Amino acid sequence: AIGLTGSELTFLTGAGLFTAGLATFLQTLGIWKIGARLPFVNGVTFAGVAPMTAVVASTKDKSDALPIIFGAVIVAGLLGFIAAPFFSKAVRFFPPVVTGTVITLIGVSLLPVAFGWAQGPAPTADDYGSTTNLGLAAATLLIVLVLRRFTRGFVKQIAVLLGLIAGTLLAIPFGATDFGPVTHAAVIGFPTPFHFGAPQFQLAAILSLCVVMVVSMTESTADMLALGEIVERPADERTIAAGLRADTLGSALSPLFNGFMCSAFAQNIGLVAMTRIRSRYVVATGGGFLVLMGLCPMAASLIAVVPRPVLGGAGVVLFGSVAASGIQTLVKAGLDKDNNVLIVAVSLAVGMIPITAPDFYHAFPQTAKIVLDSGISTGCVAAVLLNLVFNHLGSNHDVQGVVPPMVHAVSHE
């Protein structure tokens, strides 16, 4: 949309990996009260794509687009950092009936991404959804399942990684593996600060990115609650505040190295659930690899070698595992009570709207669409509000329906 050259796109990709690695360090290792210290990989949030594209479209001189976006991200990140401790207090409104619903929504929301990958890299391509692409996805899925079923120990834990490697090798005879980006990439490249110009601060762009920050913080809160359940260390108010500080500070610093808004990636939840590797230091090591790939474009280009259909096959397992974890949490949420069944039913339905009917909110203003098009955010808000109405207000007060996750977990130990 901006009209960047191939080398500039490669530079921007490397910058994104570099800043994602730094944000991952903040989140996993932590500094002072910054960082949830959970096994989270941070990366560029997808929620910002639409408003950033709108900023580009409204900018006459396209060379000013990135500086305007970077300026808006800096302001949104700093405001989010200030708001983090207040935002985290919402954790008290996340009992198991809410967290289970949100975790399930996260998994279900990610599955269409895996299905899209399985069909191919571009919907406009002739081979999109071809039997070859779907066959590669199915083969990768089968390899992961076989490894999980018939192996033990370390091999079983890295079944997804082995599936990706095997799927990539299997794709070579079909011409689906492209090593071109590796051969043309530079060996070393540092993301020069403010490479595209000093940040510019435009009110409209700042307001749009602030809305994205609220959406991102809501999703990150849900992600931390989900991962906390999986690693059996339920996220309390302090953990969420620290995690949000890492997200927002990482976002504020990211534009310095030409990066965008960062957030904890929900995709990582599925990997942790699948491998049962819960060490934050392992993920921090992964953050180190992201930094190195940001400094070595040739290494970063290796990511592009893995065919999308292969990623899709592995994604079905990973993202499905997230949804399954949510269902496990819901089992403990007292679904024998009509109120809780209603909360889950309506919240899931609301959260599924952007997935099943992507144009449902097309008549709404762009700012409202940013929020409403996030099924995780709308489903989360619906679950919290319905839980308050049915389990907290008036004569329907239900202790199990309102205690925060940490208290609920402790009460069963």
What does the DSSP assignment read for 329-388? HHHTT-TTSHHHHHHHHHHHHHHHHHHH-TTTTTTS-HHHHHHHT-HHHHHHHHHHHHHH
Confidence (pLDDT) at 2: 66
Element (H, E) at 291: helix 280-295
From CA 265, how far away is CA 290, in angstroms rounded? 14
Query: What band does 5 get if pLDDT is binned at 50, 70 and 90?
Result: low
pLDDT, one tens digit per residue, over 355-405 is: 899 889 889 887 787 778 878 778 888 998 999 998 877 655 554 544 444
Query: Of 309, 339, 368, at which residue does a domain stop?
Result: 309
Q: Is the pLDDT of residue 347 over 90?
A: yes
Helix orientation angle between 203-230 and 375-391, rounded to the nearest 10 degrees: 70
Whether residue 108 lies inside any domain: the answer is: yes
- Most confident listed range (10-19, 246-255, 269-278): 246-255
- My answer on whether 271 and 241 are in the same domain is yes
* pLDDT at residue 394 in the model: 65
Mean pLDDT of 15-31: 90
- Average pLDDT value for residue range 1-14: 70
Residue 215 is assigned to a structural domain of this protein: yes
Write the CB contacts of 188 (distance below 8 Å, at least 6 apart in sequence): 295, 296, 297
Per-residue pLDDT at 60: 76
pLDDT for residue 403: 47
For 31, phi then psi, to 5°, come to: -135, 120
Decide if pLDDT at 406 tops 60. no
Q: To the nearest whole number, what is the mean pLDDT of the chain?
A: 83
Rounded to an integer, what distance in angstroms lies between the CA atom of residue 55 and that of residue 58?
A: 5
Cα pseudo-dihedral 107, 109, 114, 119, rounded to 10: 150
Instruction: Give mean pLDDT, residues 77-94.
Output: 86
Of 309, 337, 356, which one is at a domain's C-terminal end?
A: 309
pLDDT in tens, 190-241: 788 888 888 989 887 888 788 778 878 877 887 888 888 888 888 888 999 9
In terms of domains, do 400 and 295 share one? no
Residues 13, 74, single domain; the answer is yes
Total tally of structural domains belonging to the chain: 2
pLDDT at 409: 38
Give Rg (Cα) of the chain.
21
| End position of a domain, from candidates 277, 309, 341 | 309
Residue scoring higher pLDDT (57 or 342): 342
- Tens of pLDDT, residues 127-185: 888 999 999 999 999 999 999 889 887 788 778 889 999 999 999 998 888 777 677 77
Same domain for 91 and 218? yes
* 40 falls within a domain: yes
- Indicate if 274 and 354 belong to the same structural domain: no
Give the per-residue pLDDT at 413: 29
Task: Give the pLDDT confidence score for residue 353 in this predicted structure.
Answer: 93
Question: Is residue 350 assigned to a domain?
Answer: yes
Residue-number span of the structural domain to which 295 is assigned: 6-309
User: Does 410 or 360 have the greater pLDDT score?
Assistant: 360
Please give the residue that has the higher pLDDT: either 313 or 395. 313
Check whether 349 has a pLDDT greater than 90.
yes
Pair (353, 294) in one structural domain = no
303 and 234 in one domain?
Answer: yes
Choose between 131 and 333: higher pLDDT: 131
Q: Six-digit token pair at 139?
A: 């083969």
Q: Within a domain: residue 21?
A: yes
What was the pLDDT predicted at 193? 87
% of the chain with per-residue pLDDT over 90: 23
pLDDT at 229: 82
Tell whether pTM > 0.75.
no
Please indicate, yes or no, if residue 316 is contained in any of the structural domains. Answer: no
- Top mean pLDDT of 39-53, 120-134, 393-407 is at 120-134
In a domain, 321, yes or no: no
Return the SS3 of 262.
strand
213 found inside a domain: yes
290 and 375 housed in the same domain: no
285 and 349 share one domain: no
Residue 69 shares a structural domain with residue 100: yes
Residues 217 and 273 in one domain: yes
What whole-number distance in Å separates Cα of residue 332 and Cα of residue 95?
10
58-70 per-position pLDDT tens digit: 677 777 888 989 9
Same domain, 97 and 206: yes
